[in-house]
Amino acid sequence: MGRGALIFLACAGAAGAQNSPRGHNAILDKVVRAYTEVQSYQVEALVTNQRRGAPAAKTPPEIVSIAYIAPNRLRLESNNQPEVTVFHDQEISIYSKDMSVYRTAPAAANRRDTINDSPHRRDALEKIGLADYSSIENGMQAARLLLQESLVVDVEPVSCSVVEADYPGGVKRTFWVDSQRSVVLREVESGPQGERTIAVRKLSWNVPLPDTLFELKPPSVAMRGDRLVQPVPLMRCRQPEYTGEARLAHLAGSVTMSLTIDDDGMPNDIHVVSPLGLGLDESAAACMSQSRYSPAQKGGKPVPMKTTVSLGFQEHWDSDWYLGAAAFHTPDGVARPILVKAKYPGSSSGSSGDKRSLVVCLHLTIGKDGAPRDIQVAAPKDPKLDKEAVTIAGGWRFQPGTKNRQPVDVPATFTLVHGAGTRVASNGRELE
């Protein structure tokens, strides 16, 4: 997975709309081919749903995760659903996160490659609110290229083609397609019932994934041969400390850590691989060190195993804005700035409120006086939201960074996220 929070705001470039024949579009042809030929991928995305005529949602987007290895292994997980589902060669494994219960079911006897059967794969993905992009052109009536845009992922702009397509029943789907990999990084589907947005925030494409991602077996089950049995949590991490600085900044998201579960079930070698900042990375690592596991087993014997775990941090704030990540680029010997003052505008309400879910990535410098300066939007798109984000960050104040007890300028990158509604507390939820 890439570092940092989801960012799908970007810089727009003009392009003339181009219509394509019914059921065909050159860019979407490449999307179908990319998702059909890919050997492995791992995706984390935000899914938001808004029913037509309904008040703006007051809950945060659903966080969904997919991992896939060709030809027939697929792992599906959502923070709003109690189960993790894994499709294997010949069976389906389901892990209930709330009850720590595992169960398995055989794949269809007449369909070995279960997850590669298009309707079955589509149903599995739609269960957690995602789309099967290998069948993106099925039922498509017409499509047109709207423009070129850049989506910022991990603080790096990704050039995208924006394609709008028509489907039966008055449904329109707009896709932001990575111009190089032909991967859909964002989709907005609108129809008579409402609107759904899928926005990728982390992506690994055609990168080898560990087989252990697709093994959900309890250690109490007898295993044949040398098959590896995954570690199972016995005592989960208690609620990590939400630092005062992070709460002041409205910082929310997840911290992903790599670690080793030793053969005695103790987590060790904990390293943050996807940080949030403002003390939450250290808080997550300290909390994770308190967890205990039933160790992995191979050949009936406990063995150490490397794995990754994510801890979520969310709070309730009456604002349409929150901070998705904060990074200070400090050289050796420089202590980072400390946030001491932050203010956000109140939440919009009613049908006239701005309901868009967008992210603004800001590059700036925290000066010797503790005030932000030289604030730049990494990929401008929406003048109103860009200006609002700059105004928010410009009003913050810090204890300046120091070197040898003297204040120094410190470059920084902030990811400000705009979305309709407030965020609901689920601090410390384990998202592994």
- Which contiguous run of DSSP H or E holds residue 126? helix 118-127
Residues above pLDDT 70, as percent of the chain: 75
Is 230 in the same domain as 166?
A: no
Q: Is position 55 within any domain?
A: yes
Is 161 in the same domain as 178?
A: yes
Tell me the CA distances in angstroms from 137 to 20, 143, 191, 402, one per residue in order.
12, 9, 17, 56
Which residues lie below 8 Å from residue 33, measured CB to CB, with a gap of 6+?
Answer: 182
Residue 22 has pLDDT above 90, yes or no: no
Is 287 in the same domain as 326?
A: no
Is 267 in the same domain as 345?
A: no
Q: Is position 284 within any domain?
A: yes
Sign of CA dihedral 399, 404, 407, 411: negative
pTM for this structure?
0.51
Q: Is position 173 within any domain?
A: yes
pLDDT of residue 6: 31
Residue 147 identity (one-letter amino acid): L
pLDDT of residue 120: 60
Lowest mean pLDDT among 106-110, 209-213, 330-334: 106-110
Is 58 in the same domain as 152?
A: yes
Number of CB atoms found within 10 A of residue 378's CB: 20
pLDDT of residue 145: 92
- Select the more confidently predicted residue: 349 or 187: 187
Is 109 in the same domain as 41?
A: yes
Structure tokens, 409: 């300028």
Q: Given 260, 283, 313, which residue is the final one in a domain? A: 313
Mean pLDDT of the chain: 78
Q: Is position 281 within any domain?
A: yes
Tell me the CA distances in angstroms from 105 to 86, 93, 102, one per residue in order.
11, 7, 11
Rounded to 5 degrees, what are φ and ψ at 386? Answer: -60, -45
Is 239 in the same domain as 197?
A: no
Task: Kindly report, residue by residue over 152-178, the tens digit of the pLDDT.
Answer: 766 678 899 999 999 999 999 999 999
pLDDT of residue 403: 95
| Residue carrying structure tokens 């252990």 | 212
Sign of CA dihedral 334, 338, 343, 347: positive
Is 274 in the same domain as 148?
A: no
pLDDT of residue 98: 52
Q: Is position 213 within any domain?
A: no
Number of CB atoms found within 10 A of residue 82's CB: 10
- Select the more confidently predicted residue: 430 or 287: 287
pLDDT of residue 188: 92
- Select the more confidently predicted residue: 188 or 52: 188
Q: Which domain holds residue 259?
A: 226-313
What CATH number is given to the structural domain containing 117? 2.50.20.10
- CA 232: distance to chain centroid? 24
